[in-house]
Amino acid sequence: MRIAVVGGGPAGLYFSALMKQLDPTHDITVWERNAPDDTFGFGVVFSDETLGGIENADAEFYATMAARFARWTDIDIHLDGHRHTVGGQGFAAMSRQDLLALLQQRCAALGVMTHFRTPAPDVDQLRRQYDLVVASDGSNSRIRARYADDFQPSLDVRHNKYIWLGTDQVFEAFQFFIKQTRWGTMQVHGYPYSESGSTFIVEMHSDVWRAAGFDATEGAELPPGSSDEFALARIRELFDAELGGHRLLGNHSRWLEFTTVRNARWTSGTVVLLGDAAHTAHFSIGSGTKLAMEDALALAACLHEHHDPGAALAAYEAERRPVVESTQRAAQASLEWFENIGVYARQEPIEFCFNLLTRSRRITYDNLRARDERFARLIGSRFAERTGGHADTPAMFQPYQLGPLRLKNRILVSAMDMYSAVDGVPGDLHLVHLGSKALGGAALVMTEMVCVSAPGRITPGCAGLWTGEQERQWRRIVEFVHARSTARIGVQLGHSGRKGSTRLMWDGMDDPLPDGNWEIIGPSPLPYGPGSATPREMTRADMDVVRDEFVAAAERAAACGFDVLELHCAHGYLLSSFLSPVANQRGDEYGGGIENRLRYPLEVFDAVAAVWPADRALLVRISATDWVPDGNTADDAVRIAAAFVAHGAHGIDVSTGQVTKDEKPAYGRTYQTPFADRIRHEVAAGTGTAVIAVGAISSYDDVNSILLAGRADLCALGRTHLYDPQWTLNAAAEQEYRGAGADWPVQFAAGSRRPPTARTDAIRPRLSLLRPETTGDDVHVRWRPCAPQTADR
């Protein structure tokens, strides 16, 4: 093949070296507009997985890299003058300039033609002359811009300001310096990369940056290759203690805003994007160089394995895209955490450290325990101190006071529609469904959305609470839960609004009934989505009727004996649609700004609260974002939650979306938890109000991690309990927990131990029994280039 590579960074050079080794007859030419010794930044960090791939592909090149690595396992978090150290992580870093030099030497030795200080020819010319054009020209890729219609790039410019610097101070480990200043929180990401220097990245929210006076050079035209000397001088002054008398170094350093690059496609004919041209991930989650070199490995392998270049490029994208998107989700969570770092200032230091470590959701409590058991035990014991629990009890099994109600643990069964009621009357399936979940160990079991009227149903199979027969059947279920378990049971009351009169879920979710069975209403005559029925705009008289239906249903729920009532103001149903500008475009006092859109939901909440018994808990479920540009955002969710808390809600159940069919959620593991996190710290802190996290929470490790980091007080799991109705009890058995937080029904007590697995007759070698047990200090390896790299003792 004749291959043109545009961009002589790590991605382009490493790909070229790999391809030339796979087949020396490949004709590969690289164009790099900068000089060979020009480089931006200081150090690059690699994961063990990436290094394993490099070693496997090119052991000789790996050996030359490894000889220059700085290696360590510790993370130091400096907070309020104290250092907290976590070990067992495993890092390898090297100078970016050294890496480029090694790659240039490798390419030259293999016969790759490289043109430095030379812009590449026009890409259309390259397409005519070469079999493949590799666009590795960085995050500001000109080739990507040239074929934007094919690649369909999206550029997400973030809110923080950062500047990439270096220092001749050689750190011993990864450093997070969290500095509280009179302008706000600033942070430093620092790590060693050689025997003589470390990377020193300063980051802060743009509001803090401006307040601290760093905007003095905003808009100034800096000469090419120069650094913002004003910023360097100011940072030297602010971080004098952290620098410890060492020099602060610039290298083309100026303030930047991180841009997350995504592309709908990575190929356009014979042109393929590689590295930062295809995608970027925030530096707080790892090195863009790491991702770029992984791309190069995959692209070279796919081209070698497929004779047809088109098939090779398709295989490359199919292989790498899921990995990259997973990394970008983690990076997005991490960068958003640092954008909001100021809200965590009130956290207890150990909780803050764990929150920081688990910000991307890639490190969990169990993961940390495997790496540094001593620090993990400290996290658990501090959580127990704060909550009044026992240090040896997993966080999920610590009790919780939900308003006036005591819960035995912190697990809820989410409301899940069964679509199996007849004329709104729950039947035996509801008894088995809710009864089994209560017997399964959860502290609180929520009903599906119970509709307050026949026209307020979503489907003909939805349950209700507007007749005496419905009340009697719900009472039967409540009495079973109370008699046979120690769980609490809650009712979720709602009205379908514009999402009503639709088919059963398995017959076509959100599709209208074929005969338009009943009239639907909403705040505005706007359909839920294409093909949906258009609701009639509610009058003030309609609002009075519906409010009174909620009150009547709440009174029936109290008579049934429900312990908790949750007002459903989420997922695009009636009260949710009043809250969202996507569904509410009224011109009266119930539409417009957020205060007006809150008016009717708060009116219903107050009316329900007036009749709900004071010794029972009252919750509100909200959609924290609509996942569309013109809808509610996390900022709006904070204001909505604050309003309900001010009106007396004992808890906020934080879900997202389902307000419009146009939504584009950012799905992923525990993807909704960051919204709960914000509300807990910005609204609920100090109020005693519970915040409930929901959404793709499926493991007890995730639950414990969320609770220990202070992101929520309770966790609600839905589909997980459908998969395993006794999930909570099984989680106790898996963690070898026995206590009041996971009380097995006497009939099931024989199952409270994990069943035996396949027998093994393996015998541990006798001599290993004579060795002293490790103390845990071996997980703490520091980078001390002048001394042997051994564990800190």
Instruction: Write the DSSP assignment of 220-251 as a string of letters.
Output: --PPTT---HHHHHHHHHHTHHHHTT--EE-S
Question: Which backbone phi and psi does 321 adopt, to 5 degrees?
Answer: -60, -50
**318 contacts: CB under 8 Å, gap ≥ 6:** none
Long-range contacts of 585-592 (CB under 8 A, 24+ apart): 585/523, 585/524, 585/526, 586/523, 586/524, 586/537, 590/523, 590/543, 591/523, 591/524
Question: Quick check: 188 and 176 in contact, CB under 8 A?
Answer: yes
SS3 category, 302: helix
Question: Which backbone phi and psi does 51 adopt, to 5 degrees?
Answer: -65, -35
Reference 564, options 440, 724, 687, 400; nearest CA is: 400
Question: Quick check: 297 and 290 in contact, CB under 8 A?
Answer: no
Question: Quick check: 231 and 254 in contact, CB under 8 A?
Answer: yes
Is 573 part of the annotated catalytic residue set? yes
Question: Quick check: 660 and 626 in contact, CB under 8 A?
Answer: yes
Reference 442, options 654, 742, 690; nearest CA is: 742
How far apart are the C-alpha atoms of 576 and 598, rounded to whole Å?
9
CA distances for 732 relative to 251, 274, 394, 671, 739, angstroms: 53, 46, 9, 24, 9
How far apart are the C-alpha atoms of 665 and 17, rounded to whole Å?
39
Question: Which backbone phi and psi does 544 adopt, to 5 degrees?
Answer: -65, -45
> Measured in whole angstroms, how far is the alpha carbon of residue 621 from the centre of its chain?
20
Task: Write down the catalytic residue from 573, 590, 600, 700.
Answer: 573
How far apart are the C-alpha atoms of 235 and 250, rounded to whole Å?
11
Our separate counts of H helices and E strands in the chain read 27, 30
Question: Quick check: 510 and 529 in contact, CB under 8 A?
Answer: yes
Question: Quick check: 274 and 9 in contact, CB under 8 A?
Answer: no
SS3 category, 75: strand
Report the C-alpha dihedral over residues 519, 623, 689, 646, rounded to 10 degrees: -60
**684 contacts: CB under 8 Å, gap ≥ 6:** 641, 645, 652, 690, 691, 713
Look up tokens 């923080």; give the residue: 160
Question: Which backbone phi and psi does 491 adopt, to 5 degrees?
Answer: -110, 135
Residues of the chain by 3-state class (helix, strand, coil), percent to 5: 40, 20, 40
Look up tokens 């940072």; give the residue: 235
Instruction: Write the DSSP assignment of 478-507 as a string of letters.
Output: HHHHHHH-S-EEEEEEE--GGG-SB--HHH
Question: Quick check: 450 and 491 in contact, CB under 8 A?
Answer: yes
CA distances for 782 relative to 171, 233, 774, angstroms: 9, 30, 18
Question: Quick check: 295 and 14 in contact, CB under 8 A?
Answer: no
Render the burial of 754-783: b for 16+ CB within 10 Å, e for the rest: eeeeeeeeeeeeeeeeeeeeeeeeebbbbb
**DSSP single-letter state for residue 724:** -
How far apart are the C-alpha atoms of 536 and 664, rounded to whole Å?
26
Would you please indicate which residues are annotated as catalytic (active-site) residues? 573
